[in-house]
């Protein structure tokens, strides 16, 4: 097991290198530069700025220079946040996304697994359709619809949560992470619920469960002890990218609730052609993806011993 984990962590290096290289060259081909604006600066100014940031050199030189810095964990200055480095931007924005994402993940997991298990245990009965239909709403009301609705109801009408901002307004009872987390969590809960139900049903139909039933093992024990392990396999495979996606922030939700998380930094960096910030966030996100996919693979292995060979 430890060998597997160590091996996978070692793979992180080539994976991140490929991600970095591909992204670097893609950003160089994408039209529009970091210094273009509705009101054009003179060509001389643009040339000065390019020289200042080393963008006037041949691309391969820029690449090598950049790579040599990244090896020292220096992702360079941000063009959008003049006077902040990419490391500083990630350093201030990630903790916020981490908080929202963790809470959202817990919400999604609790609601999703509960709904899925209840539905599977009551296949084709009211207690199947009801939780499934409710969990479906998370998908039918995408985040850009659900977010404003929650902001209106809990922020403006009930005055329980802030409608905007992260540091402000602690006279409202709810932490500013709660509404964004609920918005995100409900969306992922729908996925988890459906995957749980499907996975559980696959297992509940198998012979060893029938045997257990025939032996008179109580139903709750069958579901929680015997079926849950195999039944959650598809969910676990999904949780890796799900968690990585959640904690790297969501552009839409961060915009709706105006929280300064990493999701909007990433999207805005692309729109601003802030090359160092694009690369920094992409590499950071890539590392999260690989690590959490590793975690989810490890959990899969533990859930299903036969996969280990």
Partner 1 sequence: MSSAMKTVIGVIAVLFAGVLVWMFARGTATDRSSYSLTLREANRNKILLLTVGSEPRTLDPQAAQGVTEHHIIMAMIEGLVAPSINDQAKVVPGMADRWEHNDDYSVWMFHIGEDRKWSNGDSITAHDFVFSYKRMLTASFGAQYAENLYILKGAEEYYNGKTGNFDDVGVKAIDDHNLRIELVGPTPYLLSLVQHDSWLPINPKTILKFGNIDTRDTKWTHAGNYVANGPFIMKTWRPNDVIEVVRNPLYWDAANVKLNGINFYSIENSNTGGRAFQAGQLHKTDQVSLDKVPYYRRMHPELIRIDPYEGVYFYRINISRKVLDNPKVRLALNLAIDRDAIVKNILREDQKPATGFTPPGMGDYTPLNKITYDPERARQLLAEAGYPKGKGFPKFTIHFNTLESHRAIAEAIQQMWKEELGIDVTLENQEWKVYLDTQNSINYDISRSAWIGDFLDPVTFLSMWTAGNGNNNTHWANSKYDALIEQAARTGDPKTRLDILHRAEELFLSELPVVLVYWYTNTYLLQPSVQNWYPLVLGNHNYKYIDLKDEFERAK
Partner 2 sequence: MRDSTRAAPFADPVPVQGESLERGSSLWRDAWLRLQKNRIALFGLWTFMLIAILCLGGPFFTSYSYESTEISLKASAPTERIVLRTEFRKVGEPRESYLALSSLEDEFLERSPAERRAIKERVQNGNEFREGNAAYRLSNQRHVFGTDPLGRDLLTRVLIGGRISLAVGFAATLVSIAIGVVWGAAAGFAGGKVDTVMMRFADILYALPFTVIVILLMVMFGRNFVLLFVAIGAVEWLNMSRIVRGQIIALKNQEFIEAAISLGLPAYRIMFRHLIPNVMGSIIIYTTLTVPNVMLLEAVLSFLGLGVQPPLSSWGVLIDEGSRTMETSPWLLFFPAVFFTLTLFSLNFLGDGLRDALDPKSSKD
Touching partner 2, residues 26-55 (CB under 8 A): 26-27, 29-31
Nearer to partner 2 by Cβ, of 46 and 201: the residue is 201
Q: Alpha-carbon distance 32 to 51, whole Å?
A: 17
Q: 291-305: buried (b, 16+ CB within 10 Å) or exposed (e) per residue?
A: bbbbbbbbbbeebee
Q: Alpha-carbon distance 95 to 82, whole Å?
A: 21
Which of 37, 71, 72, 214 is in the footprint of partner 1 by CB under 8 A? Answer: 37
Nearer to partner 1 by Cβ, of 24 and 275: the residue is 275
Which of 9, 26, 41, 149 is in the footprint of partner 1 by CB under 8 A? Answer: 41
Residues 137-156, one symbol each (x = binds partner 2 by CB under 8 A, - = not), give x-xxxx-xx--xx--x----
Residues 174-213 that bind partner 2 (CB under 8 A): 190-191, 194-195, 197-199, 201-203, 205-208
Residues 168-207, one symbol each (x = binds partner 1 by CB under 8 A, - = not), give xxxx---xxx------------------------------
Neighbours of 273 (CB within 10 A): 18
Asked if 234 touches partner 2 (CB under 8 A), the answer is yes
Asked if 82 touches partner 2 (CB under 8 A), the answer is no
Show the tokens assigned to 65. Answer: 């220079």
Question: Using an 8 Å Cβ cutoff, are 154 and 161 in contact?
Answer: yes
Residues 248-267 that bind partner 2 (CB under 8 A): 266-267
Q: Alpha-carbon distance 106 to 101, whole Å?
A: 9
207: which residues sit within 8 A by CB, 6+ positions away? none
Asked if 106 touches partner 1 (CB under 8 A), the answer is yes
Residues forming a β-bridge with 85: 77
113: which residues sit within 8 A by CB, 6+ positions away? 192, 193, 196, 232, 235
Show the tokens assigned to 176. Answer: 């500013």
Contact range with partner 1 by CB under 8 A, out of 17-25, 31-39, 115-123, 215-223: 31-39
Contact range with partner 2 by CB under 8 A, out of 55-63, 71-79, 121-129, 163-171: 121-129
Q: Minimal CA–CA distance to 115: which of 99, 138, 142?
A: 138
Size of the site for partner 2 (CB under 8 A): 72
Nearer to partner 1 by Cβ, of 132 and 275: the residue is 275
Q: Alpha-carbon distance 130 to 134, whole Å?
A: 6
* Residues contributing to the site for partner 1 (CB under 8 A): 1, 31-33, 35-45, 48-49, 51-52, 77, 80-84, 89, 92-93, 98-99, 102-103, 105-106, 148, 151-152, 155-156, 159, 162-171, 175-177, 229, 255-258, 260, 264-265, 271-273, 295, 298-299, 302-303, 305
């Amino acid at each position: 097991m430890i060998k597997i984990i160590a091996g996978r962590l070692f793979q992180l290096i080539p994976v991140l290198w490929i991600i970095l290289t591909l992204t670097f060259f893609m950003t160089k081909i994408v039209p529009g530069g970091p210094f273009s604006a509705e009101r054009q600066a003179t060509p001389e100014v643009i040339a000065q700025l390019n020289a200042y940031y080393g963008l006037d050199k041949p691309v391969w030189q820029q690449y090598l220079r950049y790579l040599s810095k990244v090896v020292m964990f220096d992702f360079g200055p941000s063009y959008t946040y003049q006077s902040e480095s990419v490391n500083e931007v990630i350093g201030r924005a990630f903790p916020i996304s981490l908080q929202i994402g963790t809470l959202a993940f817990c919400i999604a997991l609790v609601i999703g697994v509960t709904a899925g298990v209840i539905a599977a245990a009551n296949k084709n009965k009211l207690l199947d359709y009801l939780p499934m239909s409710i969990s479906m709403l998370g998908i039918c009301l995408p985040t850009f619809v659900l977010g404003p609705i929650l902001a209106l109801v809990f922020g403006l009408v009930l005055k329980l949560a802030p409608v905007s901002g992260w540091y402000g307004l602690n006279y409202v009872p709810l932490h500013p992470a709660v509404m964004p987390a609920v918005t995100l969590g409900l969306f992922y809960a729908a996925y988890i619920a459906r995957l749980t139900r499907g996975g559980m049903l696959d297992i509940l139909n198998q012979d060893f469960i029938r045997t257990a039933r025939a032996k008179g093992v109580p139903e709750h024990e069958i579901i929680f002890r015997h079926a849950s392990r195999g039944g959650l396999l598809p969910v676990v495979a999904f949780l890796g990218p799900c968690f990585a996606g959640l904690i790297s922030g969501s552009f839409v939700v961060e915009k709706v609730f105006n929280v300064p998380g990493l999701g909007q930094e990433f999207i805005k960096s692309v729109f601003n052609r802030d090359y160092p910030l694009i690369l920094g966030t992409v590499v950071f996100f890539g590392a999260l993806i690989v690590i959490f996919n590793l975690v989810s693979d490890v959990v899969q292995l533990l859930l299903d011993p036969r996969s280990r060979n």
